[in-house]
Structure 1
Amino acid sequence: MSPRRAAAVPVPLGALPEALTGAVVAIGNFDGVHRGHQAVLGAATAHAARLSAESDAAVRAVALTFEPHPRAFFSGAPIFRLTPPDEKARVMAAAGMDAMVVATFDAALAGLTAEDFIAEILVRRMKAAAVVVGHDFKFGARRRGDGALLAAEGARHGFATDTVGALEDGGIISSTRIRSHLAEGDVAGAAELLGRRFAVTAEVIHGHKRGREMGYPTANQALDPAASLRHGIYAVRVLIDGAWRDGVASFGRRPTFDNGAPLLETFVFDYAGDLYGRDLRVTFERYIRPEIAFTGMEALMVQMDQDSADAKAALAGLAPLSPIDAALNF
C-alpha cells in the first residue's frame, strides 16, 4: 500500500468495528512512528496485501497501540511524547495502515499474562489473521512475552507471526535517540530518524502581545510540559487553511521579559489573519540559535530581523524527506 493523505483518528479497542477484525495486526507503542516502526508497519501492509491476493477478499492492516504509554503508567511520571495519539494516527494513515486501534493500558491489561493477552485481545477480540512486531517487542505481565512466544502461540491459534529486525542508521533507530536530538535542538537529525519533519499541533492562545508591539505578531501555543525540545529560535512551517506557510518561531521562557512557562511563539511571514482558538500544525525545519536575554527592545528587534532572514534562507527549496513526509507536510 502506498502512503496517502487519509484522515485518521484512533479507534478504541473497546469499540472495535467488525470491519477491522480479521486484519493483520502490527503491535507496539510506536511513539514517534519512526523509520524503525515504519518497517514494522510496512511488513504488516505487505502481509495484508499477500493475504488479500490469496483470498480475493480485502484483508486490512491495523496497528494496535496503547494509551497511556506503558512506561508512563508504571513510572507515574510524564514522558516526552513524540507522537500524541492523534498525530500517531495521522502518521499511521500516511504509512498505509487502515486504522490505529488503541487499547487502554491499565492495571487489568498490565496484569494479563502473555498467553492471555494473545487469547483475549488478539484472538477473541481482534480475530487477527497475522501479527507483526518489532525485534524488541515485549508484552504481558512482567514482559514475559516476545516474538518467539507469539510465533508459538500463533501456530496454536491459527495466525502467522512476523518479527521485524532492527533498523540501523548510525545505531539502532529509536525514540530515545530522537528525543536526544530534539533536546539538542537538532531537528534535522530527528527528522532523519523519523523519516519526516518533527511536528506539533496545539491551540493558539492569547499572550501578552509584545510581538505585535514590535511588528512581529505571533501565534502562541503551549506544548506538552514534558516536551524536552531545546529552547531557542527555529525556522518553521505552519499549516493554515490547508496551505503551508513559512515562519520563524521561538520556543522557550522569554528571558528578556518574564522567564515564564515555555511557549511556542510563531511569526508567520506575510500573514495577518486571526488564529486564536485554532489548532495549528507546526513543523520544525532548522534550529537557528539559542534563546538569550537582551538588554532592551531595540536590541531584540534587531535580532528578530536577523532571525527572520536566517529562517527564510533555511526554508528555501525544501523537499519532502519521504512519501510519508510528502503526505503529511507538503
Structure 2
Amino acid sequence: RGREAGGRAMSERMQAVMWNPAKGGYEAAEAPVPEPGPRDLLIRVKASALNPVDAKMRGRIPADAPPRPLGFDACGEVLSKGGEVAGFAHGERVWYAGAADRPGSFATHQLVDHRIAAKAPASLDSADAAALPLTAITAWEALFDRLGYAALSETPQPQRLLVINGAGGVGSVALQLARLSGIRATATASRAESRDWCTRMGAADVVDHAALEEMAESGFDRILCAHDTDRYFPLMARLVAPQGRIVSIVGTQEKHDLAPLFQKSASFGWEYMFTRPVMQTPDMTRQGDILAQVARLCDAGKILPTRTETFRGLSVETIEAAQARLAEGRQIGKIAFVW
C-alpha cells in the first residue's frame, strides 16, 4: 500500500528547522510526519511568516525541553484530518496562526486544530496569505473584542483611535480594519516610508512617535499599543480619554502606576492571540471565524497584503537571516518564507 487514505505517502518525512534550547540555536532536522489527533488537520506547509513573538518564544522554552519548530503563521494544503474534523477537504488550501504550545510552522508538515484554521483567500498566493493570520487575528480581537468597536460597521464610529506602531504587522491590519469599520485612526510612524505605508493602510492621520509627548491630554477614546508597552504606558495613561480603553499586545517588564486610569475610569487590557487556542476557551472557534471573514475581505479587495519581504527556502540560514532583519527594528509590514 503506497499511500494512506489521506493521500500522504507512508514513507514521507518531515523536514524542519528546530529551535534547540539546550544549544541556544537552530538546527535542521528530519522526523516522521506527525499523525493528526481527533480535532487536527495535518498540513503540508507551503509558506510561513515571521513575527516578533518568534524571538520571544526562544527565551520561554525551558533549556531541558526537546528541540521543536518555532513559527506560527502558515498557509498550506490539507493532507489528512482527525475523526472529529468537519468542513475541510483533502487538498484544500488553508491558513492559520497556530498555537504557542504546539510545534510550529518552520517545517514542511504541521498539525493545527481545525477550529483555529480557515480556507485561505483564493486571491492571495501562499506567501501573502501566510503573512496575515497572526496579525489579522490579533488586530481583529484587539479592535472588536477588547476595545469594543463594532466590526465592519457601515456607520462612522465616533471613538477616536490611536495605533502606536502603525507600520508594523499588527498595525498594518488594524488600520485597514479601522478604515473598513468607520473608525478614524491616528497612527504613529517615524520615517517617511513608514508614514506613507500607514496612510496607504488606512490611517486618517500619522504622527511621529515623539509627537505624542506634545499632544493634549485625553485626546483618544481608544488606544492600541503594538510596540513597547513599558515605554508608552505613561503617555497612554495621559492620552486616553475619561472612560476610555487601552489595549496592548506587548508584555511588560516594569511596574506601572494605574492611578491616572482610576481617576479617568479608564481601562487597561491585554490582547494575546494565543489565549483562545492555548487555554482551549469555549469560543475557540472564533479564530477560525475571524480568518474566514478576513479571507472574504481579501478576496473582495478590501484587505491589502502586508508582506513586504520574502525569504526562500526552509533552512537555518534563511530563518536566522530573517530574524536578524526583523531585529533591526525598521521592518514595515511582514516578512514571509516560501519553500
Q: TM-score surpassing 0.5? A: no
Instruction: Name the one with the larger helix percent.
Output: 1
TM-score by length of 2: 0.27
Q: Over alpha carbons, which structure has the higher Rg? A: 1
Instruction: Name the one with the larger strand percent.
Output: 2
